[in-house]
Structure 1
Amino acid sequence: MKTINNTKIIGIDHGYGNMKTANCCFPTGVCAYDAEPLFTADMLVCNDKYYLIGEGHKEFAPDKIKDEDYYILTLAAIAKELKTENLTEAHIVIAAGLPLTWTSGQKADFKAYLMKNAEVKFVYRKIGYHLYIDDVRIYPQGYAAIASFASTLKGVNLIADIGNGTMNTLYMIHGKPQQGKMFTEKFGTYQCTLAVREAFMQKTQRELSDVIIDEVLITGTANIAPADLKIIKSVAAEYVRDIFRRLREHGYDENTMTLYITGGGGCLVRNFYRFNADRVKFVEDICAAAKGYEYLAEAQIKAEARI
């Protein structure tokens, strides 16, 4: 969270798997109730409706404004950030992002969606919040995660932001993004989860919990039968090979370019692919995009003030 003239700039990465801010990360899930539910530890109350944050799994949807879920998750994200500074009331500028090639087409609608209430009151985790949404700034995913050091990049670099729902790729030449060389594909890590689930059912006639799948994808192993682990690792390795096949289709050359991988897919590449450490770099911070949105918004607002 950054501050300009008593206004808080809060970067929010609206992921399909996790919501991220500069200081927080929580599952992208929300369940709504008309009456107070039994378990209320992570409950948000707004307009006489009750929402359990982090419950369920948000299905992939290219249009994030089709329902209220991401709006409610945005309120929770802001509350979590404000709590880091013990604030309950603030003027807010939301800095958010959209997949690279979708930004231009969806920017205006997503901005209107996030600031549809200029003033909003709600209760989260039994604490009341009063927000004034002064503005929303939308930036491209992928680039945001490396924005703070983009100007230092030399030669030809490829940025691959592999999230839960999409994979965004962007070419950078001597630190400058190439408008005509960016791509968005529905090939996020959840596609790997679905493939593992299907392969496991076909080979064993048993269902496999996503919790176990996620553990293997993130760490490379789990405390399960070796035969079961082998199935998961085999599918994961094929998924990562497919990532690099797609990158090569977009012009990636591992001998002349440096690849920067950001997003949750980085752990899959690290665990299931043999790569040249001199040519493949990882942005380790899961909150890098949210911090990048704040960085870009702060720079933009300061530049506008100088005009």
Structure 2
Amino acid sequence: MNKNLVIGIDHGNRMIKSGDGMYTCGYMVYRNAPVGVDEYLKYNGKYYCIDGRAKYKYDKTVDDTYFILTLPAIARRMEKEGVNEADIILGIGLPLSHLQLKEKYITYFKRDEIAFAYKNKKYFCNIKEVFCFPQALSGFMLYYQQYKDIDFLNLIDIGQVTVDAVKIYNGKPVLESAISLNYGMLKLVKRIQENIRKQNGIEISEVQIESSLQGKKSIYFEDDIEKIIETTRIEFVHEMIGELSENFFEFKATMSLFMGGGASIIQTALDASQNGSEISYYELLPQAQLANALGYEMLVSQALKRR
């Protein structure tokens, strides 16, 4: 009998996240094993090098991209557990605004007899069960005891493409308040690229800008480029807060809790802003990037115990 493994995976638009780490949500496909690369995936006779990012998909079940991108996370957990065959119980999530796709996602990921190789090691698994939970709320539940006594709280998940927000009242989500805005980090990066192009006439890659936003100062960037990046970031964050305010999120007398891949970028912009009066109280959820994946795993384990 195969060992049962519970794993939570956050299928982002920039990164795939699990309790065993993160990797980018894109790949290059080869007919033969790529030369000089050890960390590749082999599945259905093709070789995949994890790199870059896939194009945004509202519905990630339209092709096999996100199923393939799930396999390295499964392999990492199987490697950690010291097994090469297992039955997987998978926890995933969707934004509250996408939950109508729940059954479609469950069907998409639930598969048997999956044979693949990762880092030259062979694996065989069955994804026997799939649980799908609300994104952001799952990460919040991981730290529920820490925040349950705060009367009013804005929970804001900063992703690559969208910002998903929901109000929390006395530890319970106000579901009718949930919104999804097109104010993710990709929009910020594109705006920075545009401003640098207009003011300096040069093209800076997404990767370079993302690195700068994460605090890794490039030795090749002139001070004026760094200034454009920082100014654009601050303007963008205040614009995002303004959009949330237009959707009845209050920031003067309410704690705002940021999570997701862009949370630290937002926090840095707010900390650096000379006009922080729009938002009075904010902090990052612990393990802001991994919280959803860890939350999915916790919720699956709890569901199995209740059986």
What TM-score do you get using the length of structure 2 for normalisation?
Answer: 0.91
Q: CA deviation at 1:56?
A: 2.8
1:111 is the counterpart of 2:106: yes
User: Which residue among 182, 185, 204 is the counterpart of 2:181?
Assistant: 185
Structure 1 partner of 2:10 = 13
> 1:234-292 CA distances to partner (integer Å, 9 max, x unpaired)?
11111111221122122222232111100122122222124589721202412111000
- Secondary structure of the residue aligned to 2:63 is coil
Deviation at 1:130, TM superposition (A): 1.0
Q: Are the aligned partners of 1:96 and 1:290 in contact in 2 as well (CA < 8 Å)?
A: yes
Is the contact made by 1:95 and 1:293 (CA closer than 8 Å) also made in structure 2? yes
Match of 2:259 among 226, 239, 262: 262
Question: What do residues 184-210 of structure 1 show as CA deviations (whole Å, max 9, x unaligned)?
Answer: 123211111111111111111111122
Q: Choose from 228, 231, 236 the match for 1:234.
A: 231
Say whether residues 1:98 and 2:94 are aligned partners.
Answer: yes
CA RMSD in angstroms, aligned pairs only: 1.9
User: SS of the residue aligned with 1:8?
Assistant: strand
The worse-fitting range, judged by mean Cα deviation, of 14-23 and 214-223 is 214-223
The 5 A counterparts of 1:147-226 are: 147-150=141-144, 152-219=148-215, 221-223=217-219, 224-226=221-223
What residue in structure 2 maps to residue 142 of structure 1?
136
Using the TM superposition, give the Cα deviation of residue 211 of structure 1 relative to its aligned residue in structure 2, in angstroms.
Answer: 2.6
Assess if the C-alpha contact under 8 Å between 1:12 and 1:95 holds in 2. Answer: yes
The answer to whether the 8 Å contact 2:252/2:280 transfers is no
Find the counterpart in structure 1 of residue 121 from structure 2: 127
Residue aligning to 1:80: 76
1:193 alignment partner AA: V
Contact 2:189 2:206 in 1 (8 A): yes
1:79-116 deviations in whole A, cap 9, x for unaligned?
1122222222111111011122101x11111111111x
Q: Does 1:283 align with 2:290?
A: no
C-alpha separation in 2, matches of 1:186 and 1:265: 13
Q: Counterpart of 1:24?
A: 21
5+ residue gaps in structure 2?
none
Q: CA deviation at 1:163?
A: 0.9
> Which residue identity is paired with 1:204?
N
Matched, 1:300 2:303: yes
After superposing the two structures, state which structure 1 stretch, 33-42 or 121-130, moved more: 33-42
User: Identity across aligned pairs (percent)?
Assistant: 26
Of stretches 32-41 and 130-139 in structure 1, the one that deviates more from structure 2 is: 32-41
Amino acid at match of 1:61: K
Query: Which stretch of the first structure deviates more once superposed, 126-135 or 204-213?
Result: 204-213
- 1:60 aligns to 2:59 (yes or no): no
SS at match of 2:214: helix
AA paired with 2:281?
A: R
> Whole-Å Cα distance in 1 between the matches of residues 171 and 126 of structure 2?
36
Question: What TM-score results when the alignment is normalised by the length of structure 1?
Answer: 0.91
Shift, 1:301, TM fit: 2.0
Asked if structure 2 preserves the Cα contact closer than 8 Å seen for 1:219 and 1:267, the reply is no
Check the 8 A contact 1:170/1:177 in 2, yes or no: yes
